[in-house]
Structure 1
Amino acid sequence: MEAVTLDQGGVFFLYGFDGTGKTHLWKILSAVIRSKGQIVLNVASSGIAALLLPAGRTAHSRFGIPLNPDELSTCNMHPGSDLAALVAEASLIIWDEAPMMSKFCFESLDRSMRDVIPRHKDKLFGGKVVVFGGDFRQVLPVITGGGREDITRASLCSSYLWDEYIDASVAEEIKSFSEWILRVGDGFEEQNDPNFFQESAILCPTNDDVCAINDYMMSALRGEERVYLSSDSIDPSDTSNHDSSVYTPDFLNNIKISGLPNHCIKLRVGAPVMLLRNIDPNSGLCNGTRLQVTQLADHIIEAIVLTGHTLGQKVYIPRLSVSPPEGKFPFRMRRRQFPLMVSFAMTINKSQGQTLSGVGLYLPRPVFSHGQLYVALSRVKSKAGVKVLIVDKEGNPQKQTMNVVFKEIFQKLIK
C-alpha cells in the first residue's frame, strides 16, 4: 500500500498455496485503492482464475500479450492507444496464478510498459506497482515438446524480473492440511465411494482419462441424445505452400487436440459441459467455465453457469469458428463447432485456480508433470473432501503413486 500511495513503483510476489487467502487479499487491495478513485487492473493467467477477481480479465486479453511470446516479444499495446492510456493511469496491477505462465509473458509486458510510459523508461514495468501471486508447487508453464529443463528455464523464477527485483514472501501456512499436502507421494489408502464421483468433480491426469469417464457417464444419463457435427476446412486465408487436396474431410474431422472441440459432440439435457473458449469473460463465459445444458437446438445451446460470480445465470452458446494453435500442423484449418466438451470429469491442469467442496482423483496412470498431484489435492480444504483411486494397467487398486516435483524450481526461489 505504501508503494501505491507514494507512487514509488515496485514488483512484489505473494507466495502461498491454495486456501491461504490470496484471492481475498486481492479483493481487499482492489476495494481500498478503488475507494480512493484510483485504477486497479486485476488479471490472471487463466480465465477460470480471472473470474474470481473483481473485474478480472486474463492477462493475454487485458494487455494483448502474444500467444507464443519469446525473448523479443512485445504486447499489442501502442503509445497513444486507449489501452496504453489505461495502463499508464493504473495505480496497481495484480496478476494471479503467475507461476503457470512463461517468463516471456512478463518480460513482454515489461518492455511494452516501459515503451508507453516513457518518463519511467528505466524502471521495471514503467514504474508501476505490480503484484504477482501464486504457488510454484503447482503446475508450471506448459512447453510443447519440452522437457524438465525447458520447463524450468521458462518459469518466472528464471527471469531477470525475479533475479533482480521481486521480493518473495511466503504466507503463513495452515498447518494441519499443508503438512499433509507437502507429504504427497508417501502413499494413500484406496478409497472407493461411487456416489462421491457422481456428485463431485473428478480430476484425471490426461485428456484420454477424462474422455473415458465422460463417455461412461453420458451413457448412464437419461434423455434424448443429440449429435453435433462440425464443418472442418482449410482456412482460405492460409497462403502457406501446401497441397490442400491432400487433407481430406475425413482427415480433418479426425483431428483431436487440446483446446479444440471435437468434430463430433454428443450431448443430453442435464449434462455438465466446459467452455473451451473465452466468449464473454464479464459474464463469466471463459475457457474453463462449467455449465449445465438445459436446452438443445440446431444452432444454439442453452445452459446455466455452475461456477463463478454468475452462478445460476442462463446463457446461450453459439457455434464458433476455431482453429488449432499455430505450429501444430503445416496448414491452417477452421472448425465450426460448439466450443464445448462434456465435463463430468476434467484434467488436473484445468482445475488449477478453482476451489471445490469435493474432489475425486482418478489415477489410472501416474501424474506426469510438476505439481499435478499437489494441484489436485489442494482443490479442497481438508482430507475429508478428497478421495483417491489409484489403479495399475490391469485395473487393480494400488496404495501409492508417483509424485513429480522439480526441486530445482524451489532452489531458484532461495538466493
Structure 2
Amino acid sequence: MFQPWNKLEDLKNECDTYAESFHKVKLHLTEALKYHEKLEELQEAFEAAKQLVQECLDKAQKRESQDDPDNPIGVENIEAGEAMQDFKDLSDKNNIQEIDVSEMIGQLNMDQKRVFDRIITTIQSDNSILRLYVSGEGGTGKSFLIKTVTCWIKQNLEKDTAVSAPTGIAAFNIDGLTVHRLLQLPVEHGHTPKYRKLSDHVLPILRTKLKDVILFIIDEVSMISNLTFMYIHLRLCEIFDTSDCDDGWFGKKHILLLGDLLQLPPVREDFIFANFSKEKIDKYFGCLGVANLWTTLFNYDELTINMRQKGDGSYRELLSRVRIGLLTKSDSDILQKRKISFEGDSFESRLNELCNFINNMTSDTVCLLPTCHMCDVLNAAMLSRISSKEIVLVAEDTVKCSPYVKKKVLKVLENNDEDNSKTAGLSKRITIKIGAKVMIRRNIDATLGLVNGTIAQVISIVQDISTDRVESIKLLLPSGSEYLIQRVSVKFEVMDRVYVIREQFPLSLSYGITIHKSQGLSLQNAIMDIDNSVFSHGQIYVALSRLTSLDGLHLINFDPSSITASEEAIIEYNRLKRLNNAETKTISLVKERYRRIKDVLWAVPKIVNSIQESHEKESIFPKVLNEMHVNSLQLYVQNTIV
C-alpha cells in the first residue's frame, strides 16, 4: 500500500509504467481483501491507488502529446507541417500565375462555362457564400473546371483554393490533397473514429497556412460519408473560429462539391446526403440533434456534356444507361463481345492464360478487379513469372508493454496478417522482385505523384551489406522519373491502450487493383472482371467509365445482373434535379432484374483456399485425401456459382 513517506517512483515496482505495476498487484490485493480484518481501509487504499495511477497516466499522456523531450513538437505537428508544405508545393508546381486563364475559359464547353460563371460571381459577391454541389457523369470535365476556377482565383483575387478528394489517386488527378490530410481529420483503420479537435500546437499551423484560402473544393463526393462531411464542417469552424458566428458553417468559407452520386458509395458508411441515425448522433456527437448540412445549405448544378468518351458516342450512351442500372439487349451483346476467350477448364490453366494476355498488352494496361482476394491471386501469379530473386520485406514492429501482454499482442498481429486494414494499411510481409509492378500505399510527395494509388516499377534495391536489410527501393514512376522510397513508421492500437509502431515499405503489388482504387482515373486500356463478385452499387459503372473508348476494354467476365444503381442515390439525384429545374427530366428506377451468368472462374475462391490450408496443417489427413476434398470443392464452386 502506498504511504506518504514512500517515493512516487516506488509505485512502478520495477515495471515500465504505473499501469503495469498496478495490474501486477491488483489480483493479489483483490484476493487479500477476502481475509484481511481491515477490509474497509484496504478497499479505500485500493481505490486511492487506482485513482493515483490514473492521474499519473493522464499526466504522462499529456506530456507525451505536448512536451515529449524526444519529440517536442509531436508527430501530429510534423504531419500537419508536411501536409501544409505539400499544399504550398502543389500551388508552386503548377505555376498558376503563368497560365493563360483566358485561354482556359475559352476551352470550357457551354455547361462548364455556366457553372464557372456561377462560381466566380458568387465568390466575388460580398453578400453570399458559395455552397454548391456540381454533379456530372464520369468524363464531363470536372477536373478541367476545377483547374480553371483555381487559376482564375489566384490570378484575379490573389487568393488560394484548397483542392481535395477522398482518395490519394483522385486527389493527385486534380492536383490536390486527400481531404483527411488537408484538414488533419482523424483516421483509424478498420472503424470510424470520433472527431478529435486539433492540438494547441497543430491548430496555429493550419490557421497560418490556410488563411488565404477562400474556396475549398472537394471532388468525388459520392465516397464522402455524412459523418466525414460533418467532420469537415467542424474542422473548418475550428480553424477559422466561426462556431459562434451567424451562418458560420464550414468556417464561413466558399465550398464547392463535385462528383457523381451514382458512382462508388462511402465504404461502410452512409451517403453524404443521408440523415444521421439516433445511434450515430449519440455515439459520435453526444447531442440531441445534428443538422443535415447537405439538404440545408447546398445548391445544385449539373454538367451533362461528356468529354472523356467524346470520340465514341455509342460507348458514351451505353455508359449513361449502365450508370442508372439500365442495360439493353444491344448493350449486353456489345459487352459480351469484349470478353477474353479462355480455353482451359481449371483455375490454374485459366489464370495462366490471363497472365499471358496481360503480358501481351501495353505497359499502361491496368487490371481492375472487384475484390482484394482476386487482386492477391493475380499479383502472386504475375510475380512468379519474373525470373529475378524474391525480395521479402518484413515489417519491424515495436511493442512497449509487459512480456505477458506482448505475447497477446504478437498473437493479434499474427491473426491480422491478412487484413492490413487493422495495421494502418502496412502488411507484415511484402514479397517483390526487381521488375515488379507495385502500388504506393501512402501519400509521400504529391508534387512528384507519390500518392496512395500511384503505380510504379521496382528497378533496384539498396541493402545493408552486413545485415541484408533492405534500406530503400528505387522506383520508376509513371512520369519517367526515379525515386528512392524508404520505410514509413505508423502507430496503431491493437488492444486497449496498447500500441504497436510498425516500420514497413508502403507498397503492394499492383498488376491487379480494386475498382475502388480506380475512381478518378482515365485509362486507354484496361482488363476487368465485372462478375458475380461485384458487391457495390455503381461498381461496374465506375470501372467501365474509366476508359476513353470501347476499343480499350477487355473483360474476363461480364454478369449483367451485377449492373445496379443505388435507389437512394437516384431518389436524391431526382430531388436535386427538381429543385434546380421543375421541368427537368428525372431518372426512372430500374426494377428489371437480369439473368445471372455463370462466371469463368480463374481465382480459387478464398473459402477453398482456407479449407485446403487447414487440411494441409492436419497430419491425420493423408495428402491424397486433401486433394480429393479440394478438387470436390472446386467442382462444387464451378457448378453452383451461377
Q: Distance in 1 between matches of 2:194 and 2:498?
A: 25
What do residues 375-399 of structure 1 show as CA deviations (whole Å, max 9, x unaligned)? 1111112211212111xxxxxxx66
What do residues 292-331 of structure 1 show as CA deviations (whole Å, max 9, x unaligned)? 111023211000212xxxx12211111223356x589995
What is the match of residue 163 of structure 2? 42
What is the match of residue 125 of structure 2? 6
Q: Distance in 2 between matches of 1:181 and 1:328?
A: 46
Q: 2:513 aligned with 1:366, yes or no?
A: no
Aligned residues of 2:186 and 2:194 also touching (Cα < 8 A): no
What is the match of residue 126 of structure 1? 251
Q: Distance in 2 between matches of 1:52 and 1:331?
A: 38
Aligned residues of 2:531 and 2:562 also touching (Cα < 8 A): no
Q: Distance in 1 between matches of 2:371 and 2:393?
A: 24
Q: Distance in 2 between matches of 1:223 and 1:91?
A: 52
What is the match of residue 222 of structure 1? 387
Aligned residues of 2:221 and 2:257 also touching (Cα < 8 A): yes
Deviation at 1:130, TM superposition (A): 0.8
Which one of 156, 162, 166 corresponds to residue 294 of structure 2? 162
Q: Distance in 2 between matches of 1:71 and 1:265?
A: 28
Number of residue pairs matched? Answer: 390
What do residues 82-140 of structure 1 show as CA deviations (whole Å, max 9, x unaligned)? 31244443121111112202222221222333342438442322321110111111111
Aligned residues of 1:66 and 1:75 also touching (Cα < 8 A): no
Q: Distance in 2 between matches of 1:41 and 1:248?
A: 41
What do residues 309-361 of structure 1 show as CA deviations (whole Å, max 9, x unaligned)? xx12211111223356x589995434322111111110111111111111110
Q: Rg larger in 1 or in 2?
A: 2
- Of 398-407 and 336-345, the range deviating more from structure 2: 398-407
What is the match of residue 95 of structure 1? 218
Highest relative contact order (Cα 8 Å, sep 6+), 1 or 2?
1
Aligned residues of 2:186 and 2:193 also touching (Cα < 8 A): no
Q: Distance in 1 between matches of 2:516 and 2:503?
A: 25
Aligned residues of 2:394 and 2:428 also touching (Cα < 8 A): yes
Q: Distance in 2 between matches of 1:258 and 1:371?
A: 25
Q: 2:149 aligned with 1:33, yes or no?
A: no
Q: 2:266 aligned with 1:141, yes or no?
A: yes
- 2:551 aligned counterpart, secondary structure: helix
Q: 2:315 aligned with 1:177, yes or no?
A: yes
What is the match of residue 51 of structure 1? 172
Structure 1 pair 248/158, CA: closer, same or farther in 2 (3 Å)? closer
Structure 1 pair 251/126, CA: closer, same or farther in 2 (3 Å)? closer
Structure 1 pair 331/176, CA: closer, same or farther in 2 (3 Å)? farther
Q: Distance in 2 between matches of 1:90 and 1:162?
A: 22
Q: Distance in 2 between matches of 1:354 and 1:329?
A: 39
What is the match of residue 192 of structure 1? 340
Structure 1 pair 411/329, CA: closer, same or farther in 2 (3 Å)? farther
Q: Which amino acid aligns with 1:177?
A: Y
Q: Distance in 2 between matches of 1:335 and 1:80?
A: 27
Q: Which amino acid aligns with 2:358?
A: F
Report % sequence identity: 27
Alignment of 1:391-410 (within 5 A): 400-410=560-570
- Of 199-208 and 263-272, the range deviating more from structure 2: 263-272
Structure 1 pair 77/384, CA: closer, same or farther in 2 (3 Å)? farther
Q: Which amino acid aligns with 2:488?
A: L
Q: Distance in 1 between matches of 2:520 and 2:203?
A: 34
In structure 1, list runs of 5 or more residues that go unmatched: 144-150, 391-397
Aligned residues of 1:75 and 1:108 also touching (Cα < 8 A): no
What is the match of residue 83 of structure 1? 206
Q: Which amino acid aligns with 2:451?
A: C
Deviation at 1:60, TM superposition (A): 1.0
Aligned residues of 1:74 and 1:112 also touching (Cα < 8 A): no
Aligned residues of 2:187 and 2:193 also touching (Cα < 8 A): no
Q: 2:347 aligned with 1:347, yes or no?
A: no
Aligned residues of 2:530 and 2:540 also touching (Cα < 8 A): no
Deviation at 1:39, TM superposition (A): 1.3
Deviation at 1:369, TM superposition (A): 1.3
- 1:156 aligned counterpart, secondary structure: coil
Q: 2:232 aligned with 1:109, yes or no?
A: yes
Q: Which amino acid aligns with 2:453?
A: G
Q: Distance in 2 between matches of 1:71 and 1:229?
A: 28
Q: 2:483 aligned with 1:315, yes or no?
A: yes
Q: Distance in 2 between matches of 1:136 and 1:350?
A: 17
Say what the alpha-carbon RMSD is for the aligned residues: 3.0
What do residues 141-191 of structure 1 show as CA deviations (whole Å, max 9, x unaligned)? 111xxxxxxx4xx21122512111211222114364343124337443152
Aligned residues of 2:134 and 2:303 also touching (Cα < 8 A): yes
In structure 2, list runs of 5 or more residues that go unmatched: 1-119, 276-291, 307-312, 342-353, 463-469, 576-642
Q: Distance in 1 between matches of 2:430 and 2:218?
A: 35
Q: Distance in 2 between matches of 1:410 and 1:385?
A: 29
Which one of 434, 439, 456 corresponds to residue 291 of structure 1? 456
Q: Distance in 1 between matches of 2:496 and 2:137?
A: 37
Deviation at 1:405, TM superposition (A): 2.6
Aligned residues of 2:133 and 2:256 also touching (Cα < 8 A): yes
Structure 1 pair 231/112, CA: closer, same or farther in 2 (3 Å)? closer
Q: Which amino acid aligns with 1:133?
A: L
Q: Distance in 1 between matches of 2:192 and 2:559?
A: 42
1 or 2, which has the higher strand percentage?
1
- 2:367 aligned counterpart, secondary structure: strand
What is the match of residue 211 of structure 1? 376
Q: Distance in 2 between matches of 1:358 and 1:33?
A: 36
Structure 1 pair 406/77, CA: closer, same or farther in 2 (3 Å)? farther
What is the match of residue 393 of structure 1? none
Deviation at 1:33, TM superposition (A): 0.7
- 1:217 aligned counterpart, secondary structure: helix
Structure 1 pair 400/110, CA: closer, same or farther in 2 (3 Å)? closer
Deviation at 1:208, TM superposition (A): 0.6
Q: Distance in 1 between matches of 2:138 and 2:383?
A: 31
TM-score by length of 1: 0.84
Q: Distance in 2 between matches of 1:80 and 1:338?
A: 30
Q: Which amino acid aligns with 1:18?
A: G
- Of 38-47 and 223-232, the range deviating more from structure 2: 223-232
Q: Distance in 2 between matches of 1:128 and 1:77?
A: 22
